[in-house]
Amino acid sequence: MDESQEKEEQQTSEPIIQPIIDLGSSLIQTDKGTIYVLTIVGQIEGHQVLPSSAKTTKYEHVLPLLAKLEESDEVDGVLFLLNTVGGDVEAGLAIAELIAGMTKPTVSIVLGGSHSIGVPLAVAAKHSFAVPSAAMTIHPVRMNGTIIAVPQAFEYLAKIQERIVDFITTHSRISAERLQQLMRETGQLTADVGTVISGKQAVTLGLIDEVGTLSGALDALYQMIGQARETHP
């Protein structure tokens, strides 16, 4: 292979590889449809910039990308790969709201885990999966740093909690009462209240639609794309 051929191959591969490096995303093109794959990993970074050593998903990158995907004629559906420890509550909710508001077929799959504010992200897609080894931590809202111990501060936290509960119950089959019960559980976490559930338990509770793997998530998304094409040819 001569030098010119090597340069040509390198230039051809760069558009494919660069989005994976920058955003952990890729485009899958088949006869059944074009799927955009987006990973949500590490901590959800909000208004505070996290240390460079932390693996993060930056909401200022994800929000405009979701808007672009919604309007793109080249993308038929979006697959979200989730492995997040949680993070900024309002940034996470903002991403979840945009996902839930998309008209295109969307599927999420919880891989290692989708903890804390990762729970709304997991249920935001039109259909959700969790691998058998997945884990999800459900706990009340907490605030880092010092807060003034006045009724207004606790009312603020209660309102945030209410927004999270409303979102999760609107986009899944779990009841608000059962969700709050899991949040207040005291027998599982060593120094905190809350509950850790597996992928199978998440399905039983009605948080996640079904236990499955990548192939199942792709099949479901292609099926949704096919139905959308029949409805709007």
Q: Count CB neighbours of 221 within 10 A.
A: 28
Tokens 């660069």, residue? 18
Burial (Cβ within 10 Å: 0-12, 13-18, ≥19) of residue 65: middle
Q: Pick the catalytic residue: 25, 108, 116, 128?
A: 116
Rg over alpha carbons for the chain, rounded to the nearest Å, is 19
139 is an active site residue? yes
Task: For residue 214, count CB atoms less than 10 angstroms from its CB and return exposed for 0-12, middle for 13-18, buried for 19 or more.
Answer: middle
Q: Tell me the CA distances in angstroms from 187 to 15, 81, 198, one per residue in order.
A: 50, 30, 16
Burial of 21 (0-12, 13-18, 19+ CB in 10 A): exposed
Q: List beta partners, residue 34.
A: 29
Q: Cα torsion at 111, 117, 122, 126 (round to 10°)?
A: -160
Q: Single out the catalytic residue among 115, 127, 139, 171.
A: 139
| 227 CB-side CA count, 13 A | 10
Hunting for tokens 């880092």 — which residue is that? Answer: 144
Annotation marks residue 116 as catalytic: yes
Which residues does the annotation mark as catalytic? Answer: 116, 139
